[in-house]
Amino acid sequence: MNKEPILQVRDVTKAFGGILALNRVSFDLYEGDILGIIGPNGSGKTTLVNSITGFIKLTSGKVMFRGKDITGRPAHKIADMGITRTFQIMRPYYSMLAYKNLVIPLFSPRAKRTGGWRGGGKLGDRDTVSIDILEEIGFERDSYVPYKLASTLPTGYLKRLELARCLALKPEMILCDEVFSGLSMSEIASMIPLIERLQMSGITLIMIEHRLRELFKVANRVMVLNFGEKLIEGLPEEVIADARVKEAYFGSEEAKEVMDHA
Amino acid sequence: MEQRRKERIDRGVKVRSDSIYALMSWRELSYLTVPRLLLIIGMLILPLVVTSMYWQRVISIVCIYALLALSFDFLAHYTGLVSLGGAFFIGVGGYLTAIFNTTFGLPPLVSIPLATVFGAIICTVLLLPCLPLRGVYFAIVTLMYPLVFARIIEAMDILGGTDGIMGIDSFSNRWIEQYLVIIVVLLLLFGLRRLVNLDLGLIFRAVKDNDQAVRASGMSITNYKALAVLIASGMGCLGGACIVHIYMWTGLSLFALDFSILPIAATVIGGAGTLVGPVLGCLILVPISELLREFGTLRIVFYSIILVGFIVFRSEGIMVYGQRKYHQFERWIKV
Ligand SMILES: Nc1ncnc2c1ncn2[C@@H]1O[C@H](COP(=O)(O)OP(=O)(O)O)[C@@H](O)[C@H]1O
Ligand SMILES: [Mg+2]
C-alpha cells in the first residue's frame, strides 16, 4: 500500500561509556501504522526514542524521515518536522496551569505554520485552542481540571498532558514512551479509543508499553528489544508465537495469557 | 489536645478586583492602582525633596543598581539563568558609551542608547557559548567575564589602561540625569512585568521550568535564552552607560564585584521573582551602603551578612511578604 516508509532506522547504535544501550537496531515504519515496542527494563527503549527525536547523539547509524536523513539534527528541529515524543518521566511545566502548558507548544513555529492541532487556517486564540486540545484528550471541559496547577494533577492527567503537548504541534508521528504505565485499568481503557482516533487521523505512532494485552490490541506491528538488540519484529501474532520471545521476555504464564487474548 | 492551624484567605476586595468589577468601583480601582502610584510618585518626587548634592547623586546610583537588580531578577526567576555578570554588563556599556562620546563626539543622549544596543549584542554574543550551562556553572562563568575583561584592559593597556578614559561629557544638568534614570527604571520595571505575562514571558518561564519539554515542543531553548540575555544585558549596559556620564569617567572599577553582588542582595531582600522587590531592595541597600562608604571594600562583608541573614531568617523577601499581607488575611482555625 505505502511505497516508502515514513521512518527508516538503520543500524542505530548508542554507547554510554562501555555499555551498548542500543546495538545496530534497524526497522522501517509505514505511515499510519502503530509500532509497539516491548522489552525488559534497561533494554534501550527510551534510548531509542531519544535517538530518533534527537535528544541524544548517536554513536553510529542513521535515521531517515520521509527519505530525508535527520541523524544528528537538534531535537527542536526534529520536533518541528512533526516527529514528537512523550517523556516516560512526565515533563509538564509544574508551575503553570494545565491549559497554559499547551500555550507553549502552540507558540512554536510549527504550530504557527500548521495552524496547530486540527490544522488548516489560522491558529486562533491560544488559550481556547489549549482547552480544545485538553478536551480532546480527556480533560473535562467545564470542570476545574484544565485550570489546576500542573503540579497538583494526578498521574493519569499528566500522561494525557504529555500526549496533548504532541498534539498541539499537529504531529506526523508520536513516539509514546510508556504512556499507560502508572495508570489504572479503567484509565487505560479510556485512552485506547483516543489512540485509535489518533491513528485514524493519520498519525503514525510508536508505542512503548509494558501492558502487553492493551498494546497488542492497538499495534499493527511489534518489535522486541533485549539488551539493546532487536530480538524480533513482526505482526503481533508472530511475535507472541516466537519461542525466543517467550523465553527472553514474557515468561510462560504471561505469554499464555496474552496469546489467549490477542 | 486541640490543634490549631493558620489559614490564609484572599481579601474580598482582591477577589473582586480580579474580575470586571475592578473597573466599576473606586474602592477596587484604588486597591489595584494605589500601590503602583505610590511607587511611581515616590520615585518621581525623590529628586525634588532631596537637597544635598551628595544624596542626589545617591538617587542616581540607586537607579543604576535597580536596573541591574531588575535584570538579575528577570534572568534568574523568569528564565532560570543565574547571572553574576552585572559588572560585565556595566563595564561593556560604560566603555562603549565612553568610546562613542570621546572618540566620535556623540552627545550622551545618543551614545547611551547606542551603547545599550551594541553592548547588549556584544554581551549576548560573548555569553552564547555559556548558554547550555546550568545553575551554578552559568553563575561562575558570568562571574569570570568582568575579571577577564579588566585584566585584558590592564595588561594590554588599551582603552586607557589602568587610568581609564577621562573627559566624558556629563548630562547637561542634574534634573536630566536624575529623571532620565528614574523614568528608565520605572519604564523597564512595568515593561518587564508586562512582558513576563505575555505568551513570550510564558515561554521564558517554560525554559526555566522544563527546558527538555520546550525542545520537544519544537522550539530552540538557546534562542529564547539568548533573547532573555539580550534583554537583561541591555538593561545592565544602559546602567553602565548612565553611570559613566554621571561620573564623567570610565575605568576598571566598572568591572567591580559590587555590581554583581549588590543586585543579588537587593533581590533577596526585596523579594525574588517580584521585579518590584529588587527595586525596593536597591532603595534600601544602596543608601545604607553609601553610609558605610568609609569602610571601603569591607562593605561587601555587610552585603554578605544581610544576604545570609535574609536567607536564614526570612527568605521570602519584603515584597512577597508585603503582597501576601496586602492580598490576604490570616486567621487561626481549629483542626
Ligand atoms: N544518560 C545515560 N547515561 C548512561 N547510561 C544510560 C543513560 N541512559 C540510559 N542508560 C543506560 O542504557 C540502558 C538502556 O536504558 P533505557 O533506554 O532507559 O531502557 P528502557 O527504557 O528500555 O528501560 C540502561 O542500561 C541504562 O542504564
Ligand atoms: Mg524507558
Residue of B nearest to A90 (CA): B213
Average pLDDT over residues A17-24: 91
**Residues A97 and A165 occupy one common structural domain:** yes
Predicted complex ipTM: 0.89
In this complex, the residue of B202, B212, B217 whose CB is nearest that of residue A100 is B202
Please identify, among A123, A144, A171, the residue that sits at the C-terminal boundary of a domain. Answer: A171
Q: Are residues A110 and B209, on separate chains, in Cβ contact within 8 Å? A: no
**Residues A130 and A158 occupy one common structural domain:** yes
Give the separation between CA A213 and CA A217, rounded to whole angstroms: 6
Alpha carbon of B211: minimum distance to chain A alpha carbons (Å)? 9
Cell of B53: 548634592
Per-residue pLDDT tens over the stretch B4-47 = 777 777 777 777 666 665 566 777 777 778 888 888 998 899 98
Give the separation between CA A170 and CA A84, rounded to whole angstroms: 9
Please identify, among A171, A199, A234, the residue that sits at the C-terminal boundary of a domain. Answer: A171
Give the list of residues 6+ apart from residue B34 with CB closer than 8 angstroms, or none.
none
pTM of the model: 0.88
pLDDT at A60 over 80: yes
Per-residue pLDDT tens over the stretch A144-189 = 888 999 999 998 899 999 999 999 999 999 999 999 888 888 888 8
Query: Angle at CA B262, nearest 5°, toward B316 and B168?
Result: 145
Q: What is the pLDDT of residue A102?
A: 93
Q: Are residues B218 and A165, on separate chains, in Cβ contact within 8 Å? A: no
Q: Which residues of B touch A95 (CB under 8 A)?
A: 205, 209
**Residues A71 and A127 occupy one common structural domain:** no
Q: How confident is the model at residue A88 (pLDDT cuts 50, 70, 90)?
A: very high
Give the separation between CA A178 and CA A48, rounded to whole angstroms: 13
Q: What is the pLDDT of residue A262?
A: 44
Q: Which CATH architecture has domain B4-334?
A: Orthogonal Bundle (1.10)
Residues of chain B with pLDDT below 50 are none
In this complex, the residue of B206, B212, B220 whose CB is nearest that of residue A104 is B206
Q: Are residues B217 and A92, on separate chains, in Cβ contact within 8 Å? A: no
pLDDT at A28 over 60: yes
Q: Going by CA atoms, what residue is nearest to atom 12 of ligand 1?
A: A21
Q: What is the pLDDT of residue A120?
A: 64
Alpha carbon of B5: minimum distance to chain A alpha carbons (Å)? 22
B-proximal residues of A, 158-217, CB under 8 Å: 165, 168-169
B-proximal residues of A, 74-133, CB under 8 Å: 74-76, 79-80, 84-85, 87, 91-96, 100, 103-105, 107-111, 126
Per-residue pLDDT tens over the stretch A241-250 = 877 776 666 5
Alpha carbon of B225: minimum distance to chain A alpha carbons (Å)? 14
Sign of the CA dihedral with B206 first, then A192, A223, and A244 last: positive
| Residues flanking ion ligand 2, Cβ below 5 Å | A 45-46, 88
Domain ranges of chain B: 4-334
pLDDT at A251 over 70: no
Nearest ligand, measured from the Cα of A43: 1
Query: Angle at CA B161, nearest 5°, toward B155 and B166?
Result: 170
Look at chain A and report how many structural domains it folds into: 2
- Containing structural domain, residue A160: 91-171
Q: How confident is the model at residue A136 (pLDDT cuts 50, 70, 90)?
A: confident
**Residues A220 and A121 occupy one common structural domain:** no
* Grid-cell match 593597556, residue found: B157
Average of per-residue pLDDT values in chain A:
88
Q: Going by CA atoms, what residue is nearest to atom 20 of ligand 1?
A: A42
Q: How far is CA B303 from CA A16, B236, B288, B315, B320, in A?
A: 45, 20, 10, 15, 20
Calculate how far, in angstroms, residue A42's C-alpha sits from the geometric centre of ligand 1.
6
CATH number at residue A55: 3.40.50.300
